[in-house]
Each structure stands twice: as structure tokens, then as C-alpha cells.
């Protein structure tokens, strides 16, 4: 089976993990956790980074730190992986789902502006949803597939309407907007290191911030809010969310190889575009000149989505449709969905992601492209 986006363990992973096992430093304290956090902050251009057990726990911790409650609403895109919305629901808050831009597949900023101008009001510097009377303290843009929306505009809208920005950049390690790394532009940002991401720790995440107090709070909350180095004294509800040292060791080894992984991802997308652009109705995700994406998961749009999916998977070339839009999942059908033409559904029914592991060979890429062409 040719994996969609498998891990590439060709560096010092075994060496560093073995060191953890031989020294006994395998849990949530150890030198590799510290080193992984430092490498991540330096790469992303943030002052601080706090390692967590997953991207989902990173997002949840961010929302807890910013005081999101069951009485609130949080704005998020309708096209995203479910972890975005799950992390919001863990706080008890409701969702405001914004439809996707039909070309770049990010949150539609025209719709966002329309929602904020017509459906919300300001009271003493706080944003409220007019119909429900609920506070809206946070917006969570998702850098879908490593692409990035017009962050200048999103940040300006957020500032105007008093929204704190938490970047779900779990797919965007190595992506830049006007030279600024994904996850470094909001008050908080996040990474994910799941097995299919551009680097992996098997499972893991990272919280990014320039704010020292938030970094300290994140580390405190993710270690069960233990406030005394000796006694088991805990000063608030905390979480067992810290990344373990043995996983961080993998992360350090993966970070050492990240420049090469990013280079290979760009080679892969160039190859696919050369081979498939203009074939039938195939289109690729639109990327602004302001964005330098990591091309984490090359994805094509075609009316023959299901036919191409069957051709590839029958040939043991793993491919997947886009995520089911959040408003269509039974847990979220009652949430606010702001749209005009429900472009999320169109994107879902026309897009599919194709094999792009960083260790895929050129011969395998050609085989995938040839198999796709059979549908046209």
C-alpha cells in the first residue's frame, strides 16, 4: 500500500529514543522535551513553545487559558478536521461555523466580515452574538492543508470586533504568510505531530505564543496544575496533556530533517501540477502570492472525485476525500452555520487528497498521476 502521507523515519529517531529508554527518561520530563520546545519556537519565530500530547489538547488548552466557557461561542471554519470543533466543545462553548472560500478552501473572510457586521454587536469592548446574546471571545482560523488565508485582513477584523485569535496551524508547520510562520500571528498558535503530519512524534502537539504568562500557564495546566515541587498541591483544574520525553526525542530527530521534508513536499506538488494541471476538470488549491505553504497534503478538485478515489485505492494508492463539513456531522447540526451557497458541501464532494509521503519515489508519483489520468 502506497500511503497517503506516511511518516519518514530516516534520521536519529532510533538513537534518541534508545537514549531515553536506556536512561529511564521516558515520561513528561526530560531534556528532549525542552529541546523540542526550543527548536519549535525558533523555527516558528515565537518566543515560547509548550509541548502537548496532541494538537487537540493544544487547542483545548489555548481555549481554557483564554477563558472560553459554556456560555460563549467560538468562530471556526466549516471545512476542517473535527479536532478543531471538538476542542471548542470540550469547553462547553457553541460553534459559529463560517463557510469556505471556493478557491483557497480557507474560512471565507467576506462571509466572516458580513457575519461580524450584521450578526454581532459590541458591548464594553466585548463581542456578542445578537440573536443568542452569547459572548464571542475567540476566533480559530484553520490553515487548511497548510495554506493560509489573508491573515492581515483576519487580524484586522478580529481587532475591530475584539476577538482573540487562536491559530489552528496543526497542518501548517513550515507554512508562511508574508514571511511570518503559521501559528505566530495570533495570541496563540498550535502544531500537531500526528503520524500523517509533515513531521511526527507518533502523536503530539505544540502551543506557540509570544506571551510569557500564557506560556507559563500552558505548562502549568498541562501538568495537572501542580503548584508545589514536592507536595501534591494543585491550585486549579489541570490536565494530563504534556508530551512525553520519548516522543519529544522523535520530534527532535524529525525537526532535524524538516528542511528536507519541506523541499520534498514542494517537489511533489510541482510534479503533480506538471502532470495533472489541465487534465479534464482537475484544479488545485488556490494559493495567494503572500503565502508560502508547506504543501502538506496535495489535494485536487474534480467532478470525478469518487471515480478517482476508487481507481487509486483499488490500485493500493491510498487517497481520501476531504473531511465531511462540520455542519453535516450529527453532533453539530444545531450549531450556527453562516453561509450563502454552502460551498463547503461542494468542496467536500469534489476534492480528494493524493499520495505525498516525503519518502515517495518519483516512479511512484508517476504511477499515481497515470492512474488519475485513467479517469479522464
Reported as a single tens digit per residue, the pLDDT across 125-164 is 999 999 999 999 999 999 999 999 999 999 999 999 999 9
What is the per-residue pLDDT for 231? 94
Range list of H helices, 78-108: 83-90
Grid cell in block for residue 269: 506538488
**Per-residue pLDDT at 28:** 82
Q: Give the closest residue to 111 by CA, choosing from 73, 82, 76.
A: 76
Cα(204)–Cα(247) distance, rounded to whole angstroms?
Answer: 8
CA distance 167 to 189: 4
Between helix 55-65 and helix 83-90 the angle, nearest 10°, is 40
Annotated domain spans of the chain:
13-255, 258-373
Strands in 283-284's sheet, in edge-to-edge order, are 283-284, 299-301, 351-353, 320-321
Which residues are registered as beta bridge partners of 77? Answer: 98
Distance CA 77, CA 100 (A): 7
Grid cell at residue 232: 501534591
Q: Return d(Cα 333, Cα 328) in angstroms, integer.
A: 6
- Which CATH number is 13-255 given? 3.40.640.10
Report the half-sphere exposure of 96 (CA within 13 A, side-chain side): 26
Stretch (H or E) spanning 29: none
- Residue-by-residue DSSP string for 267-323: HHHHHHHHHHTTSTT-EE----TTEE----S-EEE-TTHHHHHHHHHHTTB--EEPP
CA atoms of 168 and 146, how far apart (whole Å): 10
Greatest Cα-to-Cα distance within the chain, rounded to the nearest angstrom: 68
Q: Which three cell numbers stand for residue 32?
A: 528532549
- Cα separation of 119 and 73, whole Å? 13
Can you give the length of the chain in residues? Answer: 376
How far, CA to CA in Å, does 166 sit from each of 13, 191, 269? 31, 12, 28
Among 43, 66, 46, 58, smallest CA distance to 136 is for 66
258-373 fold: 3.90.1150
For residue 115, which phi and psi values (nearest 5 degrees)? Answer: -60, -50
What residues are paired with 72 via a beta bridge? 135
Given CA atoms 123, 134, 235, 206 in this order, what sign does their dihedral have? negative
Neighbours of 281 (CB within 10 A): 12
Residue in the block written with cell 506538471:
274
Q: Alpha-carbon distance 264 to 9, whole Å? A: 14
Beta bridge partners of 121: 128
Are 287 and 145 contacting, i.e. CB atoms less than 8 angstroms apart?
no
pLDDT along the chain (376 residues), means of 10: 96 97 90 97 98 98 98 98 98 98 97 98 97 98 98 98 98 98 98 97 97 98 94 96 97 98 98 97 98 98 98 98 97 97 97 98 98 98
Amino acid at each position: 500500500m502506497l500511503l497517503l502521507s506516511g511518516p519518514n523515519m530516516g534520521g536519529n529517531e532510533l538513537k534518541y529514543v534508545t537514549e531515553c529508554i536506556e536512561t529511564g527518561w521516558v515520561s513528561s520530563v526530560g531534556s528532549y522535551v525542552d529541546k523540542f520546545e526550543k527548536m519549535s519556537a525558533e523555527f516558528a519565530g515565537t518566543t515560547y513553545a509548550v509541548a502537548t500530547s496532541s494538537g487537540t489538547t493544544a487547542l483545548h488548552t489555548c481555549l481554557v487559558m483564554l477563558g472560553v466557557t459554556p456560555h460563549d461561542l467560538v468562530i471556526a471554519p466549516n471545512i476542517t478536521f473535527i479536532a478543531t470543533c471538538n476542542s471548542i466543545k470540550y469547553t462547553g462553548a457553541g460553534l459559529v461555523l463560517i463557510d469556505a472560500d471556493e478557491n483557497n478552501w480557507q474560512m471565507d473572510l467576506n462571509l466572516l466580515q458580513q457575519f461580524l457586521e450584521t450578526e454581532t454587536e459590541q458591548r464594553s469592548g466585548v463581542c456578542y452574538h445578537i440573536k443568542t446574546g452569547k459572548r464571542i471571545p475567540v476566533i480559530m482560523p484553520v490553515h487548511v492543508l497548510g495554506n493560509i488565508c489573508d491573515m492581515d485582513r483576519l487580524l484586522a477584523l478580529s481587532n475591530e470586533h475584539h476577538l482573540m485569535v487562536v491559530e489552528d496551524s496543526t497542518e501548517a508547520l513550515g507554512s508562511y504568510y508574508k514571511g511570518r510562520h503559521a501559528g505566530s500571528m495570533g495570541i496563540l498558535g498550535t502544531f500537531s505531530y500526528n503520524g500523517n503530519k509533515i513531521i511526527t512524534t507518533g502523536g503530539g502537539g505544540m502551543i506557540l505564543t509570544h506571551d510569557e504568562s500564557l506560556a507559563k500557564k500552558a505548562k502549568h495546566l498541562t501538568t495537572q496544575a501542580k503548584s508545589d515541587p514536592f507536595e501534591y498541591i494543585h491550585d486549579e483544574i489541570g490536565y494530563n496533556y504534556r508530551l512525553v520525553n520519548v516522543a519529544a526525542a522523535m520530534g527532535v530527530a524529525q525537526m532535524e530533517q524538516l528542511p528536507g521534508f519541506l523541499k520534498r513536499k514542494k517537489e511533489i506538488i510541482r510534479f503533480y501540477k506538471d502532470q495533472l494541471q489541465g487534465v479534464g476538470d482537475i484544479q488545485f488549491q488556490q494559493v495567494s502570492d503572500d503565502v508560502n505553504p508547506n504543501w502538506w497534503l496535495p489535494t485536487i478538485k474534480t467532478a470525478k472525485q469518487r471515480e478517482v478515489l476508487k481507481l487509486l485505492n483499488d490500485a493500493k494508492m491510498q487517497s481520501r476525500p476531504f473531511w465531511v463539513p462540520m455542519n453535516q456531522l450529527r453532533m453539530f447540526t444545531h450549531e450556527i452555520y453562516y453561509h450563502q451557497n454552502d460551498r463547503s458541501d461542494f468542496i467536500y464532494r469534489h476534492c480528494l487528497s493524493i499520495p505525498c509521503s516525503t519518502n515517495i519515489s518519483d516512479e511512484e508519483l508517476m504511477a499515481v498521476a497515470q492512474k488519475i489520468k485513467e479517469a479522464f
